[in-house]
Every structure is written in C-alpha cells, then in structure tokens.
Structure 1
C-alpha cells in the first residue's frame, strides 16, 4: 500500500469510526484480561461486536474482537461492520450507501495525490477554506461525490486540490431570465449581447448537464448562449458549489469580492447539491431578516448576505446563481478571516499553532461566536446554522479571535414565537455539538491538561447570555444531561430527508465538564 493509500485509509476511516462510536456503541470491558493503556473498548449495541480503538488525539486504529484475539480493521472492514450494525438496527439494507462509503475512500486517495502536486494559495483565509481533506468528522462518507463522474473530470474544481478555475459565462435571453433581489454584481463579471443577461455557471455543473434534452433545447432555441469563460479565476471554497470571486487587482473594475453559490448535480454528504426553487425563494425571504438581526446585535459579528439570484426559466434548478456578500465589506480592519472547520484539521498558518495558553484564545472564541447567535435567536427570532463550515472566525495579528462571520441563508430560519422546539434543537446541535465541541477537541488535543477548564468557560458565557437576554431555553440547556446530536450514519442509512435528520442524545459538555 503506497503512502497516499495508507493515509486515505486512515482519513476515510476516522469519520466513519466516529459515527459508529457515537451513534451505535456503548463502553465495554476488555474481554482479554487487563485493559491496555491508551485503548478503549466499545460494544456495538445491535450486533454485540466489540471494537477496540486507540484513544488520545482521536479515536483511531480500530480492532475487532474475533472471540480469541483482536484483529486490526481497515476501511473496507469497517464499512462492512457499519453495514451489519445498521441492518440490525433498522431491518433494512442500503447497498448504495455502502458503495458510497467505499467510493469516498477512493476519492480521498485521489484528492491526496492531486493535492500533493498543487500549489497552496498565498491567502491564509483561502488556505483554511481548502484545508478539509478529511471533511466532516462525523459522517460515513464526507468526501464521496456521487453523480459527479470520475475524479479526473472534477479534481480541478475541488477545494482540497486548491482548485481555481474560470467560470463559464452564459447569456440568458431577457424573456427567459428570472431575477430576484439585487443581482447587479453579476453584470460586472463580463458582457452579454443585447437582449441577454449575463449568467455565470460553475463549469462542473455545465459539464454534467449540457447534454440533457432541456438544456440542449435551451441552447438550440437561443434562450441560452455560451459566451466563453471569465478571464480571471474563481476559487473553490469548502462547500464545493460556492466559489469566491476576487476583487481588487485580480478583477479590474470590481468594487470588491463576492461569493457565488451554484447548483451541482452531485451528492455531497447528505444531499444532492441542487438549489431548489423553494430554497431560492427561502433565501430571498429570510436573508433580509437575518441581515437585520445581525446588524442589530451587540458587537462586530457579521452576516454574509445572499442578496439576490438569477436563473433560467424552465431550468431554474439547473443554472441558478445566488450572490453572497464577500469578506471585504465585513471584516474588521487588520483582521484575517479563517474557516472555523479548518481549525479542527489544521493548515499552514493555523493560529492554534501559535497558542501557548489555550484559555484566553478559547474565551475570545466563545465571546465572538456564542453571544451573537443566541441574541439573534432570543431578540429577533432568527436561528442560523452556525456549524463549523458556516462559521468564519476572524483573528487579529496576534492570532486571537476578534470577530465571527456567519453564512448560508439556506439553513437560516425566521422562527415564529411558537413552536420553536425544532429550531432550538438544530441550533443547539450546530452551536454546541458541532461548533464548540469541534474547537474544544482541537484545543484539547494540543493541550490535554487544559481540557477540564474549557467547558466551564463555555458554560459561563451561556449563563451570561441567559442573564442578559432572558432566554429560558439557555437556562434549560445548561441544566440538561444530554444535547441532540445529528446521526449522519443512521440518517443516511434510512434515507432520511437532509432537512429532517435523525438525532441521538449525547452527554451535554456544558454539564459534564462544568
């Protein structure tokens, strides 16, 4: 097994192993005598199989108990073990997901090989956006790209390979154009012929759809024209289908940077990343409310507004483009934005590499992230999906967090006074289980001796928010024994809708570590 293959096996195995341990196991005694230092035994609840994993930096190096000895497990064996457990739990098979898990591991190997040949960007923020080689740490196949074709056809578009590429430019005839909100930024990306409007398209999406009958008909009838490509490169970001369009010297005449979010006919984690009609409408209804809420919150937190969209009548879900604010107009002077999720994997320039005392850094992070999220919810009825991939943390020259920026109107909700239970459950998962736990774990791996002090500080921030905002749900949260955790393995196995996943209870770190 070559270096890339060994690394891919470990990287692909880690999130699947995390899913099994979180969703399907309980601690168990060592069956062969005295426990081995640095290893923990887990029993899968439905099948009764015993797994032993290395503890410490992260659960890894799984071994399966054969009845007489421990046998090392590779990724293929772990896929089969997960399939057996899920079949026992649910009474159903899911051959497609098992194949997706296997394919995801092969894709990781392809990404590693391509990444080794790619040149990292100079921008620290962009290095963070493109750092997620393993991806979601609690998903059975975070790097699978079902429907996207062989890796050779799309590796150049991948954030993990430091993808940068020109956008395809279409002209959409004015009577076939659908515009809502402020789309003026799109008209600065090139020139369209008279009677047409400019429509940028992700080149991967164009490759995947251009031979479909409806798309071919649109070109044949003149509703769409292929105008070429941008003379500048867009940059792949962590979500894959959202790209960064630079401003300044790289795009002469531009007033600033921006993000463009496209449809992709590719399944990434839990969904085919096609922007549905109702999602376009939702973004334009919800975004002004979210923008107003974050404009009113105390402190420098910012929301990256999705201010308009353009698409093609009859192909609304095939070629939509959402215009999202760039960073230039929102960042504090002298601050550098970083993708919060990248702090859990590490990257060249990671500010955690410079930290000597984790508690001041953690306190600053908490103060940037928690109060604006809870204030938007308590005072404005806005729940944002503040998970690690939707959170940017801006740091000052000393590497300390000074500002949080949040994004993605698709997951944001304007919540009526009643009922709020489902929205609060999702908010707690995103904020506590995904965001804060991910960052706390990253700090704990570096500073094991500080682990016991991290969550009491988080509890204090939530208590302060409760006192200032009068948010009864926050008081309930810090007293709850468990918090809801998204069960990605189970949800995918039973083909649950991506917007209505299953949750499992996990110990509440705000209580357990208080």
Structure 2
C-alpha cells in the first residue's frame, strides 16, 4: 500500500482548503438561491433574498474571496462563516432546518485540507490516464460538499483516496458456493486468486470491509465467508472513489461503499443491480450499431453474497485496451476542467480546432444512441473519457456506468431528453468550454457547440438551440430538503447556445 506522509505548512493548507471548498459552494449559492444585484465586473454582487444580505465574490468559473456587506463596508468571510450564511439563507427560503448538510460542508473542507497535505508528498503516477482520474481535488464544481467522506476519521479513508495517488491491494474473500449470487460475465473475478473447494472468490474494497465489519462478523464466524489474503497486485482508485482500475488485468471493479459522496450513499443497491444487465445490454447493442470510434465500457456482470447482498456486491467493468484507439491516450473529461499535469487544454496549437474535434467526438454518440435506441447516457464529466492523439487532439470518446443510464420508455422521452441536456451540455460541455475559454480569453466556444448540435436531426434540437434556458440541477436544494440523490430537480439557467 502506498504510504502518504502528512506533511505540509498547515497555515497555507488551511487557506487553500477554504478556497477549494468555498468555490463549489458559492457556485451552488449563486446558481440556486442568490439574485444578481449589481452590474457584472471583476467583483459581482448578489442579494440573498431570504436575509436580504449582499454577497460579493471575485467572478469566474470558480468564484472566490466571498465578502458580505455590513455597516462598516465589505467584510471577508471564511468557509465556516460561509456555511453558516448558506444554512441561514436556506432555512429562511425553505422553512426547514437541516443539521446534516452543514456538517457535510465542513467535512468536505476538512477532507480537502487532508488531501492537500497528503498530496504534497505523494508521487503521481506516470500514466497520464491515472493522473487524470486522480486529479479532482475540487471535484463537482456545483455541489455544496463535493469532497465529504462520510464524517469518518481521516485515517479511515485517506489510504484509499484517489486525490492522493493512492494504490492498494484488494482483499480476497471466499464465499461459500451456496451463498453466491451473480449475473452476467464475472469470470474475471475468478482469475484474481484461488478459492478453496466449496467457495467462490469475491474481491472486496478494504474500506468497505472496515465499514461493514459488524454486519459481516457472523458470516466470518460460521465460515460462510473466509479471508483469503489480498491480490498480488495493487489497484488504483478512480475519481469515483469506489471504482478501482487494475491496469495489469485491464479491468475496472466497482464496489459498494456505505459513504455519502456528493448526493448519494455509494452503495450498490439491490434495485440498481437488478436492472444492471438489462440496461448494459441495451447500451452495448446501441454502441455496436453506431458509426464512429466511440466506445462503451460495459458493466458486464456482478457478484455478491446472498447474506450481504449490497454490502459485498462488486461490478465487473470492461478495461480500456479493447476499446481505446491504437496510439491514443484516454483522459477523464472532468480532469480537463479541473487541471492536471499533461492536460491537453494547456497547450493546443489552435484552441478552436481542438474544441471542434472535442465536440465531434463527444456529442454524436450521446445524441445517436438516444435518437436511435432511446438510451439516455449519463454523459457528465466523471462518466466520460476522451482519448487524444500524440498532439493532444481528441480522437475518441468513451462512456461508462450503466447504473446512471436511463432507457426510453422506462422514463419518458421528455424526461430523458432533459436529463441528457443537463449531463451533456450543462455539466459536461459548459465546464470544458469554460476551462478552455479561461486559458484562451479570445475564444467563444458556443458557436462551434451550436453548429455541432445543429448537425443532428433530432426533433428536440431546434427547441434546444432556441430556448433561452437550460436545465440546471439544484444540488444544494436537493441536499437541504433531503431529496433522494437520484431525484434530479432542475431550475432554468441562461442558455449560451441560443445567442451563439
């Protein structure tokens, strides 16, 4: 297991952690609650309608340096005071109290401090793909607590954190054969080690084993479950935390994790596993029938134990080698917006050409599988990979995670289209476009995005390009009101496509 030393100047780390944690919280507050109060400029002013207070921030895709107006003028507020300000505003707006979310916001900030401290002494992987997966120190740019880790002690989760370039072996368990539950192709699991007669092999994430120790004690005691050691190789946690990559085996494994990360407790729920094969089969067929180089990383099977169905579940996902074009390098789309060593956004010879190539790889497969097969990909930044050639130009898009996919008519076409637009345009394209424009101030990315979308003859496209608004997910209000993590609710955001 990689050992990470916790050494860094604490004062500097505290200030940086405040800034990292404040930016997504401010994005949520500005998008969902605040109202513009003054003309745009380097410092934007907003009114908080519940309290009537004025908030000023340094403008940008990552707003910073929040200040509130008092009788004595503008006064800076740190992250802890910003959390109190947001909580007061939401109580006034909704008429509801919530003690859990403010604690998550503080936990997220403290987690960032721990990550920054450990990351300063960690060694990044040589593989640019792994570096991209492990780069998300900010995380979801429109979530109030994107780095919360369940409130547990740092020592419990830090060894498994992708942000500190962790790698570790998996625990190998033996499950008595009469208790094994599986569906699909799980043969890759049997190659990870050797199970004794009468048992089947089941890998486990060590953090999840710690979390579920009490529930599993009886199964270990009566030998329905055996500890068989660990894998002979390390795995690398990806941006999703609970999904790991085993490069030597060209394999991804997705585990249950009883920890809330962003909106959901990241457990492999029984109802999601029940539909996984049907959904993945539909997506796999849709991509097989499509033209172009885009690829789907199939969630090809899952295995668990009947007595700990959700606690021990693991999903087997395709690796990269059979899907990525020869000579191309896959990168996590979210990392392009976050930034990392080797980010192709840092140096394209012509940013307009680069952006056109990016759109040409990402947009057609998402619209194509929807139009022809009713498949609604959850094509947000963390579920999308973009492979680039030797010059850093996008040549292929890859998508993953059947759990987030919706199928028409399981959902209505209108609901599916709204979700597609949010994930693809608002969450994905808008973030990459903003990161690119930030590096190249003369570039307007939206005319090219409009042209790419207009090439596709879906009945919804004309309305999308003419609409003054796009659907924006309300993560702050969803978490404050205790809505189910999968229960997306949207508010209208200005549509940059309409005026492009």
Q: TM-score range by the shorter chain?
A: over 0.9
Query: How far 1:67 moved relative to its partner?
Result: 3.6
Is 1:496 the counterpart of 2:480 in the alignment? no
* SS of alignment partner, residue 465 of structure 1: coil
Query: How far 1:418 moved relative to its partner?
Result: 7.5
Give the 5 Å matches for 1:146-295: 146=150, 149-212=152-215, 215-247=216-248, 256-295=249-288
Partner of 1:378: 371
Query: How far 1:11 moved relative to its partner?
Result: 0.2
Alpha-carbon contact 1:310-1:322 (below 8 Å) kept: yes
Partner of 2:459: 472
Q: Deviations over 1:248-305 (max 9, x none)?
A: xxxxxxxx40100000011100111110111111111110110111111221000000
Query: How far 1:29 moved relative to its partner?
Result: 2.5
Partner of 1:40: 44
CA 1:180 to 1:417, structure 2 compared with 1: closer, same or farther past 3 Å? closer
* SS of alignment partner, residue 232 of structure 1: coil
Whole-angstrom CA distance in 1 between matches of 2:38 and 2:330: 45
Runs of 4+ displaced beyond 6 Å: none
Between 156-165 and 501-510, report the one with greater CA deviation.
501-510
CA 1:57 to 1:211, structure 2 compared with 1: closer, same or farther past 3 Å? closer
* SS of alignment partner, residue 96 of structure 2: coil
Unaligned runs of 5+ in 1: 248-255
Query: How far 1:501 moved relative to its partner?
Result: 2.4
Query: How far 1:476 moved relative to its partner?
Result: 1.3
Query: How far 1:417 moved relative to its partner?
Result: 8.8
Query: How far 1:239 moved relative to its partner?
Result: 0.2
Partner of 2:17: 8
Alpha-carbon contact 1:16-1:139 (below 8 Å) kept: yes
Query: How far 1:339 moved relative to its partner?
Result: 0.3
Alpha-carbon contact 1:201-1:319 (below 8 Å) kept: yes
Q: Deviations over 1:182-211 (max 9, x none)?
A: 000000100000111100000000111122
RMSD (Å), alpha carbons: 1.3
Whole-angstrom CA distance in 1 between matches of 2:290 and 2:470: 26
Is 1:439 the counterpart of 2:432 in the alignment? yes
* SS of alignment partner, residue 387 of structure 2: strand
Q: Deviations over 1:123-142 (max 9, x none)?
A: 00000000000110000000
Give the 5 Å matches for 1:379-418: 379-416=372-409
Is 1:459 the counterpart of 2:450 in the alignment? yes
Alpha-carbon contact 1:339-1:392 (below 8 Å) kept: yes
Unaligned runs of 5+ in 2: 1-9
Is 1:113 the counterpart of 2:106 in the alignment? no
Alpha-carbon contact 1:387-1:430 (below 8 Å) kept: yes
Alpha-carbon contact 2:45-2:56 (below 8 Å) kept: yes
Is 1:430 the counterpart of 2:423 in the alignment? yes
Between 72-81 and 168-177, report the one with greater CA deviation.
72-81
Partner of 1:251: none
Alpha-carbon contact 1:496-1:502 (below 8 Å) kept: no
Q: Deviations over 1:138-182 (max 9, x none)?
A: 0000000115x2011221100001010000000001100001000
Whole-angstrom CA distance in 2 between matches of 1:86 and 1:160: 31
TM-score by length of 2: 0.96
Alpha-carbon contact 1:24-1:45 (below 8 Å) kept: yes
Q: Deviations over 1:47-79 (max 9, x none)?
A: 221111112463211111114400111101110
Alpha-carbon contact 2:148-2:260 (below 8 Å) kept: yes
